[in-house]
Amino acid sequence: MESYIGWILLVPPIAVLLMPWASRLGGWAANTLAVVAAGLPLVFTLRLIPAAGSGLTYELFGAHFALDGVSLLFLVVVNAVAFACMVYATSYVAHLGGRGKFFALLLVMVFGLNAMLLTRDLFSLYLFLEVASIASYVLVAFGLEQDGIESAVKYLLLSAVATSLVLVGILLVYMTAGTLEFAPLAAALAGAGGPVPGLLLLAAALFIAGFGLKAAVMPFHAWLPDAHPSAPAPISAMLSGVVIKVAGVYALVRVFFGILPEIGEVRTVFLALGTLSMIAGAVLAYFQRDFKRMLAYSSISQIGYILIGLGLGNLLGLVGALFHVFNHALFKSLLFLNSGAVQYRLGTRDIEQMGGLETRMPVTGATSVFGTLSIAGVPPFNGFWSKLFIIMGALAAGQAAIATLAILVSVFTLGYFLIIQRKVFFGHLNEKWRDIREAPAAMSLAVILLAAACLLTGVFFHSVTRGIVEPAAVILLGGK
């Protein structure tokens, strides 16, 4: 069982090393290598689900990695979405060129994220975060056209500052505790119950700013609405669905629920920033004409929900937040991949020019409906349950105002997403698009998998929550 962790970590980098040869053999070889390299970690992750409770560890030439419920949840998210995106990319990358390099960089990003989740050392966490980030900078600019390069530059500059802040925070923690590994840190920082030392408060602020930027929490969100639309569709899906969760939310969770001692103000900050993101993200999304840009703002809004759940601190809130991480990754990546398919066939992202597409692209249309219903929180799709838990958690914690706002924003989200769906897929077919075809098979397969996952996770939400989410939430609760 332990060796599974090793496979999860090492299969992507080994594939990266083999990729140049596979490319030379031909597109089919590169495709196969990429899909296998993304699929194997997923298989191993799924097989690890029953065993996560027993605290598995893995050692690689002296490097220590470990798995617990929280890591496992995020691992499933990363590898499931990465697999779908990789399958999708086998078709999509055709019009980008540089097939092998794209797969290699995407695999590097997957490695960085997986390693982030499996390490138990704060500096290694930072290092793997940088590995994934650098891969993502290049991938955003991969199309080598104006939009991509411009947003990659802005993303990179902002992100570089953010990771510097995180690094300073890490140094402050090191100076206070003398170690960088999670378990000894938690013990060293637990303190005697007195006031939290100033250094740790400063470190906490730096972590919120730095990881908050990676999570695209307001007011640190500015890079996301540019980067996500301009990137190639599978990269947008990975960024919005996975990277902001792992690099941002997971890091925040590890630091604030497992390392730093309980700081009451942090709870309040989470609630405040979460509510701000939830509302502002939804409102700004409403005004967008570019479909992918709207999805990007919507991601900011959904991250707000997650942050609220974390800030509430009770079991319901935490379960809701973690479950929403899982669900949002599934339906957001689904929506981004579909928007990519539409753009692939139509050549535009402007909603106003679309209409009636479901007659020409039935699979894309149907799966988009799945995604829309999920994000709007309509039962029995998965989004309904995670939002419900967060709202219930808010009520349980006495935060009736937040609960009400969450419900209102949900209804609002449902509203504008349905409007978009109608505009893009239903209604009168714009003459221009009379002859377009459905998206290529690989792309359709990927979105069908994700759509099925959304439905199944929703219908079987009890098993999913019991099996994966609750164990993780309990760990977070117990850490205080």
Told to check if 128 binds other proteins by CB under 8 A, we report yes
Give the count of residues interacting with other proteins (CB under 8 A): 64
Told to check if 161 binds other proteins by CB under 8 A, we report yes
**Which CB, 141 or 208, lies closer to other proteins?**
141
* Contact with other proteins (CB under 8 A) among 153, 188, 442, 456: 153
Q: Which residues contact 92 (CB under 8 A, 6 or more apart)?
A: 232, 233, 234, 340, 344, 443
Told to check if 265 binds other proteins by CB under 8 A, we report no
Taking the complex as a whole, how short is the minimal distance between the CB of residue 67 and other proteins, in angstroms? 14
Which parts of 175-234 interact with other proteins (CB under 8 A)?
175, 178, 197-199, 222-223, 225-226, 230
Q: Which of these ranges, 49-57, 166-174, 261-269, 329-337, lies near other proteins under the rule CB under 8 A?
A: 166-174
Q: Which of these ranges, 107-115, 184-192, 332-340, 469-477, lies near other proteins under the rule CB under 8 A?
A: 107-115
Told to check if 283 binds other proteins by CB under 8 A, we report no
Cα–Cα nearest to 361, from 437, 448, 428, 434: 437
Structure token pair of residue 304: 């707000």
* Contact with other proteins (CB under 8 A) among 2, 154, 314, 396: 154
* Contact with other proteins (CB under 8 A) among 151, 275, 302, 444: 151
Told to check if 63 binds other proteins by CB under 8 A, we report yes
Told to check if 144 binds other proteins by CB under 8 A, we report yes
Sign of CA dihedral 187, 189, 192, 193: negative
Report how far apart, in Å, the C-alpha atoms of 355 and of each of 332, 337, 360, 370 are.
21, 18, 10, 18
Cα–Cα nearest to 331, from 375, 389, 272, 284: 375
The 80-99 site mask, x for binding other proteins (CB under 8 A), equals: -----------------xx-
Amino acid at 258: G
Supply the angle between the helices 470-478 and 315-346 in degrees, to the nearest 10.
Answer: 130
Q: Which of these ranges, 55-63, 233-241, 303-311, 472-480, lies near other proteins under the rule CB under 8 A?
A: 55-63
Report how far apart, in Å, the C-alpha atoms of 24 and of each of 19, 37, 38, 95, 123 are.
9, 17, 20, 18, 37
Q: In a 10 Å sphere around its CB, with 0-12 CB exposed, 13-18 middle and 19+ buried, how is residue 47 labelled?
A: exposed
Taking the complex as a whole, how short is the minimal distance between the CB of residue 174 and other proteins, in angstroms? 6
Bridge partners (DSSP) of residue 66 are 57
Told to check if 164 binds other proteins by CB under 8 A, we report yes
Start-to-end CA span in the chain (Å): 29
* Contact with other proteins (CB under 8 A) among 62, 194, 195, 478: 62
Q: Which residues contact 186 (CB under 8 A, 6 or more apart)?
A: 258, 259, 479
Told to check if 108 binds other proteins by CB under 8 A, we report yes
Per 3-state DSSP, the chain is made up of helix, strand and coil in percentages (nearest 5) of 80, 5, 15
* Contact with other proteins (CB under 8 A) among 2, 121, 262, 438: 121
Taking the complex as a whole, how short is the minimal distance between the CB of residue 218 and other proteins, in angstroms? 12
Taking the complex as a whole, how short is the minimal distance between the CB of residue 475 and other proteins, in angstroms? 22
Helix H or strand E segment including 196? none
Cα–Cα nearest to 207, from 225, 184, 189: 189
H and E: helices and strands count for the chain: 20, 2
**Which CB, 231 or 446, lies closer to other proteins?**
231
Query: Please, how many CA atoms are within 13 Å of residue 448, restricted to the half-sphere of its CB?
Result: 9
* Contact with other proteins (CB under 8 A) among 168, 186, 407, 436: 168
Which parts of 346-375 interact with other proteins (CB under 8 A)?
none
Q: Which residues bind other proteins (CB under 8 A)?
A: 9, 13, 16-17, 60-65, 97-98, 101-102, 104-105, 108, 111-112, 115, 119, 121, 123-124, 127-128, 130-131, 134-135, 137-138, 141-142, 144-147, 149-154, 156-157, 160-161, 164, 167-168, 171-172, 174-175, 178, 197-199, 222-223, 225-226, 230
